[in-house]
Amino acid sequence: MLLKKFFNVGFEAIAVVERRWFGLADLARYPLFTPEFLEFMGKVMPPHRHNELVSSIAVTARKPVARR
């Protein structure tokens, strides 16, 4: 979906150059999340997703030299 949005606004050479999973242990590094929130996530998310909640991706792209 995100890559399609890059395409739709006119970017070219769109590439995902890195991808890594984010799990509960990764979220725990962030001061944005309280212990209560992490506990909530642990309860509401099925165990098989605790290590794979979301993906972090790195996207590169380029604005065309001549706009379409």
Partner 1 sequence: MPYFGDQEARSIIRDTYSRVRSDGTAVAEAFYAHDELAGVPAEAVAMALGVGHPVRHAALRTGESVLDLGCGAGIDTLLAASAVGPSGRVVGLDMTPEMAARARRNAETGGFDHVEIRAGLIEELPLPDSSMDVVISNGVLNLSTRTSRVLAETMRVLRPGGRVSITDLVLAEALPEDVLKSPAALAG
To partner 1, the closest distance from the beta carbon of 54 in angstroms equals 5
Q: Which residue has the tokens 């006119």?
A: 10
Identity of the residue, 34 or 47, whose beta carbon is nearer to partner 1 in the bound complex: 34
Identity of the residue, 1 or 47, whose beta carbon is nearer to partner 1 in the bound complex: 1
What whole-number distance in Å separates Cα of residue 16 and Cα of residue 9?
A: 17
**Amino acid in the structure at residue 18:** E
Q: Could you list the residues that contact partner 1 (CB under 8 A)? A: 1-2, 5-6, 8-11, 17-18, 20, 22, 26-27, 29-34, 37, 40-41, 44-45, 49, 52-67
CA angle 21, 57, 46 (to 5 degrees): 30
